Every structure is written in structure tokens, then in C-alpha cells.
Amino acid sequence: MLLIRPGFISQSISDELIAAFRLIDKNWVSGDSHVRKWPYRTAISAVLLKEAGIPGLDERLSQVRQQAADAVCEFYGISEATYIDYTLMTEMKVGDSVPMHADNQEYSDKGDWLPNHTHYHHCTANLYLNTCGVDYEGGQLRFSSIQESVVPQNGLLVGFLSGREYQHEVTPIKIGCRYNISLWVTLDPARAERWDYSDIRPQNRLGS
């Protein structure tokens, strides 16, 4: 069963996050892993959005991030201590898609499911910042094992466990750009995300 919660964040917060993303994307010059670019996709570590200079966004983003993680953990009855291990904002452009996969396992050539490079992910939350059918076409979230499909809407929260029981894909973007924030929750305190930017070299920050 999926966690599906419409209206989890407001239109104004979505707009602020997209504006912050575009500003970081436009101005950031760096060879590190905080910003990753492909022909059809740009992905930015969400901690950088706090650098965009939008008043109060730091606090609002931090609050939304924690509320999303808490909602998924509560929905799945996770009683152990949990930690957000990574928060990522993504822009998917025309032609982009995500193949069917699980977030913490991979299917081997021998037909076995094995831990992957993010084996520590325990559950996943996606926050959608714009609307399929209005801002873009395509980009639906599909789950093969439970035969469910989600049409992203602005403000929608979707949560699920990160294992193979929730294999999922994103269908190709046909028109426009799709924006979402993904975050992953872990049970391993050593994997907790550093939710600050002290490790980003000052000479690489905006305005430096």
C-alpha cells in the first residue's frame, strides 16, 4: 500500500522551491557532486536550495522535509529511530524517464535480489512540485509489483518502502519539465544527511 497524501505542501512553497532550483542551476559552477547534470535531467542536493536567498525558505524546506519523512514512517509503522539520509530535487525534461527499479536492491544476472549501492535506504518519500497534464505530459510514477500508477500533482506526497516490493518507474516526459523532491529514510545513524552546507567550499557558493 502506498502513502498518497494530496495537498501536503502549498502552491507557494512549490513555487519557491522551483525558483530556488532554477537559481542554483543557473549560477552554480562546480565540479563536485552537489549538482549533477545530464542531457535530459538536472539533480541538485536539496541542501543547496537554502543558498538561493529566498527569505524563510531554509526553515520551510527543513520543516517540510522532516514532516514528509515522519509521515512515511508513521504510515508504515516504523518504530525504530529513523534518519533522513539524502534529500534531492530533480528536474526531468522532455525525453527523460526512470526505468523500473527498487531503491535499495537490484536484480542480478543470476536472478537474485541483492543489496545495491543505496542498500541503507529504508523508505522513500516523493514531493511533487508541479502537475502532470498542466505543466508537463508524461512522468507518471508506476509500481509494477502492486499494479498502481500515480499521476503527480502539485503538493502531492507519495511514500513507499524502498525494497523490491515497491519496484517503480517514471514514464517518459513528453512536454515540459517535471519537478519533485525525493528523500530517503534510513535506520542507520551513520548515514544521516548533513542538513547544512558547511562542507561546501566557500569559493563554490553563490555570490562568492
Cβ distance 177 to 129 under 8 Å?
Answer: no
Cβ distance 30 to 204 under 8 Å?
Answer: yes
Alpha-carbon span 123 to 104, nearest angstrom: 9
Listed in order, strand segments (DSSP E) in the chain are 3-5, 35-38, 41-45, 83-92, 98-101, 105-107, 113-115, 121-128, 136-138, 141-143, 148-150, 157-161, 168-170, 173-176, 178-186
User: What is the structure's pLDDT at 51?
Assistant: 84
User: What is the structure's pLDDT at 158?
Assistant: 98
User: What is the structure's pLDDT at 197?
Assistant: 65
CATH level 2 (architecture), domain 3-188: Sandwich (2.60)
User: What is the structure's pLDDT at 174?
Assistant: 98
User: What is the structure's pLDDT at 204?
Assistant: 38
Query: What grid cell was written down for 33?
Result: 557532486
Pick from 35, 49, 40, 44: which is nearest to 138 by CA? 40
User: What is the structure's pLDDT at 20?
Assistant: 97
User: What is the structure's pLDDT at 206?
Assistant: 39
User: What is the structure's pLDDT at 103?
Assistant: 98
User: What is the structure's pLDDT at 99?
Assistant: 97
Residue 36 sits at the vertex; the CA angle it makes with 155 and 205, to the nearest 5 degrees, is 90
User: What is the structure's pLDDT at 61?
Assistant: 97
User: What is the structure's pLDDT at 34?
Assistant: 87
Show pLDDT as tens, one digit a residue, over the chain (208 residues): 999 999 999 999 999 999 999 999 998 776 667 899 999 999 999 999 998 999 999 999 999 999 999 999 999 999 999 999 999 999 999 999 999 999 999 999 888 999 999 999 999 999 999 999 999 999 999 999 899 999 999 999 999 999 999 999 999 999 999 999 999 999 999 999 999 865 553 333 333 3
